[in-house]
């Protein structure tokens, strides 16, 4: 029996030793991973970051938000946020659809506009699309990159509010000049509200561009 108790004691001591070692390794693992990461060669990425901050020309960015209130329903309003449907209510709007499954707005649809368009030239692609809630798109131009998200909310009083969140980033010195000349407060809301209200009330767009 003494031999048996001794064997059990040795076994328990061994198990306790193993548990302590495992706990120690687990506690040290985050530090080991950190040391491994610190050994990574990051010279190239650091060089890119330094080149960015050393650049003589600093490209500008402007962020602005505006909203319009329209007497309508979300179901009637939301479909108008579409490259095809905008031809119905924006005077001078035209586009060339590059990719869309049904000819209308959808996530990742792509289209282009020419310089003669009401808003100028650009390559556009939707980056988000949630029916009756919001859309988001990116517009590529020679001197400017624009990110825009339009959110639609029901005010529960027969009106909706559409909010534009726009971020414009210069891609060149000319882009910097354009951004520096942009007004501090966007003037788009008045024109958009007039065009949308006219279309929704009269079922047809304005005949002439707003100035």
Domain that holds residue 165: 73-202
Task: Write the pLDDT tens digit of every residue in 65-84.
Answer: 999 999 999 999 999 999 99
Task: Enumerate the β-bridge partners of residue 123.
Answer: 112, 140
Instruction: Identify the pLDDT of residue 57.
Output: 87
Classify residue 162: in a domain, yes or no.
Answer: yes
Q: How many domains does the chain have?
A: 1
**Residue 116: pLDDT over 70:** yes
Classify residue 178: in a domain, yes or no.
Answer: yes
Q: Is the dihedral of CA 182, 183, 188, 191 positive or negative?
A: negative
Classify residue 41: in a domain, yes or no.
Answer: no
Classify residue 196: in a domain, yes or no.
Answer: yes
Confidence grade of residue 185 (pLDDT, cut at 50, 70, 90):
confident
Return all residues near 207 (Cβ < 8 A) that are at least 6 apart. 91
Classify residue 37: in a domain, yes or no.
Answer: no
Average pLDDT of the segment spanning 83-96: 95
Instruction: Identify the pLDDT of residue 68.
Output: 95
Classify residue 23: in a domain, yes or no.
Answer: no
Confidence grade of residue 19 (pLDDT, cut at 50, 70, 90):
low
Instruction: Identify the pLDDT of residue 39.
Output: 82
For 156, other C-beta atoms within 10 Å of its C-beta total 7
Report pTM: 0.78
User: Whole-angstrom Cα distance, residue 113 to residue 87?
Assistant: 12
User: Whole-angstrom Cα distance, residue 140 to residue 147?
Assistant: 9
Classify residue 98: in a domain, yes or no.
Answer: yes
Return all residues near 10 (Cβ < 8 A) that are at least 6 apart. none
Average pLDDT of the segment spanning 129-152: 98
Full 3-state SS string of 13-35 = HHHHHHHHHHHHHHHHHHHHHHH
Give the CATH number, domain containing residue 96. 3.30.530.20
C-beta of residue 159 within 8 angstroms of C-beta of residue 70: yes
């Amino acid at each position: 029996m003494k031999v048996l108790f001794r064997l059990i004691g040795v076994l328990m001591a061994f198990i306790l030793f193993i548990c302590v070692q495992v706990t120690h390794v687990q506690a040290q693992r985050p530090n080991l991973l950190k040391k491994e990461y610190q050994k990574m060669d990051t010279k190239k990425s650091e060089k890119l970051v330094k080149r960015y901050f050393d650049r003589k020309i600093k490209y500008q960015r402007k962020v602005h938000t505006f909203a319009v209130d329209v007497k309508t329903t979300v179901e009637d309003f939301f479909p108008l946020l579409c490259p095809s449907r905008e031809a119905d209510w924006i005077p001078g709007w035209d586009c060339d659809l590059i990719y869309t499954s049904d000819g209308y707005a959808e996530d990742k649809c792509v289209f282009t506009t020419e310089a003669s368009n009401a808003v100028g030239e650009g390559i556009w692609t939707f980056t988000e699309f949630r029916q009756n809630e919001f859309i988001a798109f990116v517009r590529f131009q020679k001197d400017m990159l624009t990110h825009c998200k339009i959110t639609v909310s029901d005010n529960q009083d027969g009106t909706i509010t559409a909010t534009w969140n726009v971020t414009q980033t210069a891609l060149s010195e000319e882009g910097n000049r354009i951004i520096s000349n942009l007004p501090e407060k966007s003037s788009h809301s008045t024109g958009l509200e007039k065009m949308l209200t006219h279309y929704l009330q009269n079922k047809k767009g304005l005949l002439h561009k707003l100035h």
